Structure 1
Amino acid sequence: MVAAVDGRHPAAAVLAFAFRAAQLRGAELWVLSGCDPRRGPLTAALDDWSAAFPDVKTATGGWHTPDLARTLVQASASAGLTVVGSHRRDDLSGGVLGPAAYTLVHQAGCPVVVVHPEDGAPAGPDGDGDARNRQ
């Protein structure tokens, strides 16, 4: 499985869905990040989710390309499921997918789940809010 998150602001809703789906499928989870996945808020978030789901084997990787959509489509070719988030909510056109998620949904080599953030802070693995906001 592949989960793609913005490494500067890891999406708790994407990680929550991805870890739970990986556990149910007995699958390894490859977390792709737009930043170095060994630094910043993503490290703490992955540590929390890995502790909550110790049976989910994880690997991390970064994308260092201006063409995020192509990178995600390529990663999806060897995945059983790809999980991405959506930051965009356009009330005028009704669109909710950014360009990378839109391309992925139409060209992926596997099923794609687009997780939309809920209003308020999504629950972390222990249920007490987004892991990146803990002190």
Structure 2
Amino acid sequence: MPIYDYRCLECKKRFDVFMTYAEYGNKTVVCKHCNSTKVTRKIGRIRIAKSEESRLENFSDPSSLEGLEDDPVALGKMMRKMSGELGEEMPEEFDEVVNRLEAGQSPDDIEKDMPELGDDLSTGGMGGMGGGLDEDF
């Protein structure tokens, strides 16, 4: 029986639902956390087999990083592209930050709105994503 990933629009939590192909589309899906029916299906990422070297090759040119600190939209696009190349599932906080950057919000404003990310960055990464702040960046 397939497993379908959902996200509740009320409590914002993710959950899985087991149902047959026949049930899919005919069965009302209810959040396991808050019993809301306001849910959306989360489509998983597809993966293409590439070596780590070829995935990161696109980012080896230092000139591709020029001006990112002054352009939040370009920074957001680069972060989204890098996460796609890494092929790993990123936490919701990462997607929220990237969406805000792509909308033109400055990193400083995002950090003010989401102070818990700043705390995480100083102790090793955004929400457990690894890596801390690099003083020379």
TM over 0.5: no
Task: Name the structure where strand makes up a greater proportion of residues.
Answer: 1
Structure with larger RCO (C-alpha < 8 A, sep 6+): 1
* Greater C-alpha radius of gyration: 2
Calculate the TM-score normalised by the size of structure 2. Answer: 0.25
Task: Name the structure where helix makes up a greater proportion of residues.
Answer: 2
